Structure 1
Amino acid sequence: MDDNYFSLNSILADNHKLSCTFTLDVPGLGYLEGGTENDIHQHAKVELPFWLAQTLSLNEFTTFPLPPPYTNRVKSALNASAQSVKLANLVGGNGWWYRWGRRIADVLDDEPQADLLNVLLKAFVNRLPALQDLAAHHASADHTLPENSTSSGEAFRDGMEGDERELFAIGQESGKLSKGWYDSNSGRKGGR
């Protein structure tokens, strides 16, 4: 998970919209509300991309509630069964749930920040074994599950967010390379 300025994944993670509330009147930015007024008034709610909401929040122009993908409802679902939560669906599109959560945590105060980072870490740790098993299964040559299978492993795969999909691809490729190496060395031993 990189926060590189030139990373398209980081740009996509920063482009999610947040519902922000302005803490003061701001002259000349009324167009952000989409209305005809020139100014934004205190307590006005505006949907802003995270990259802008972050800057405004750090400078105390706005506040925002924790976005729905990181609320107690999602936390409870992750605690009940981390593998059954479709993280990709929580943040839309291909989803970068971990990246966006980490970026939001950067803006939060100490206690909410620690809570959010703990949710992200716990979700990752609880989902990693299933991800690893599924990648190993897909890497095997005797792969028998059809791609459109409704098994729990395939449901988990469908719900993987962006970073998990990248790890899945790496694990799958690594499994294929390991199997190829093992098969080539087994053939040599049998031929001696």
Structure 2
Amino acid sequence: MDDDYYSLQSILADNHKLSCTFTLDVPGLGYLEGSTEPDIHQNSKVEIPFWLAQTLSLNEFTTFPLPPAYSNRVRAALNASAPSVKLSHLVGGGGCWYRWGRRIAEVLDDQPQADLLNMLLNAFLARLPPLQDLSAHIASADHSIPEGDAGSGESFREGMEGDERDLFSVGQDSARITKAWYDSNGRKAGGR
């Protein structure tokens, strides 16, 4: 999850819209509201891309509430059953839920920042084992899934966000390579 300048995932995460409230009058930026007025007035709410909201918030021109994708409701759902939460649907645009959360945390004060980072970490730790299991299973030659697991595995896969999909792909490749190595060593040992 590097925030490389050329990373498409980072660019997508920085372009998510964030609802901000201006703390003062700003002349000449009325077009951000989509209005015909030339200025933005104090307490005006405007949805702007995160890359702009971050700069404005750090310079105390705006404030913003925590986006719904990181609300207490989502936190409670993650605590109840992290694999059942469809992270890809929470932020849209390919679902860069972890990256966008990390970027938002950079702007927050100490305690809200710690709370958000803990939520991201706990969600990742709770979702990683099922992600690994599913990627290894799908990569294996034996595709016999018990009936009860087929639906939950597919549902989990649909709900993966961007970075999880990347890890899933790496897990599949690793499982295929491991299986090929194991099979080739098994034939050598059996042939002696």
Supply the distance in 1 between the matched residues of 2:144 and 2:35 (Cα, whole angstroms). 56
Match of 2:12 in 1: 12
TM-score by length of 1: 0.96
Match of 1:31 in 2: 31
Match of 1:78 in 2: 78
Structure 1: gaps of 5 or more residues: none
Cα displacement (A) at 1:144:
3.4
Supply the distance in 2 between the matched residues of 1:143 and 1:58 (Cα, whole angstroms). 51
Taking the TM superposition and a 5 Å limit, the aligned residue runs for 1:85-124 are: 85-124=85-124
> Number of matched residues?
189
Cα displacement (A) at 1:143:
1.5
**Which whole-Å deviations, capped at 9, do the CAs of 1:62-101 have from their partners, x for residues lacking one?**
0000000000000000001001000000001320100000
Structure 2: gaps of 5 or more residues: none
Cα displacement (A) at 1:142:
1.0
Cα displacement (A) at 1:111:
0.4
- Contact 2:136/2:171, CA 8 A, preserved across alignment: yes
Partner SS for 2:3: coil
Supply the distance in 2 between the matched residues of 1:9 and 1:79 (Cα, whole angstroms). 26
- Contact 2:135/2:169, CA 8 A, preserved across alignment: yes
Supply the distance in 2 between the matched residues of 1:10 and 1:140 (Cα, whole angstroms). 32
- Contact 2:12/2:93, CA 8 A, preserved across alignment: no
Supply the distance in 1 between the matched residues of 2:150 and 2:175 (Cα, whole angstroms). 23
TM-score by length of 2: 0.96
RMSD: 1.0
Match of 1:51 in 2: 51
Cα displacement (A) at 1:151:
1.1
Taking the TM superposition and a 5 Å limit, the aligned residue runs for 1:137-152 are: 137-144=137-144, 151-152=151-152
Percent same amino acid among aligned pairs? Answer: 76
Supply the distance in 1 between the matched residues of 2:190 and 2:128 (Cα, whole angstroms). 36
Cα displacement (A) at 1:27:
0.5
**Which whole-Å deviations, capped at 9, do the CAs of 1:151-186 have from their partners, x for residues lacking one?**
101100100000000000000100000000000010
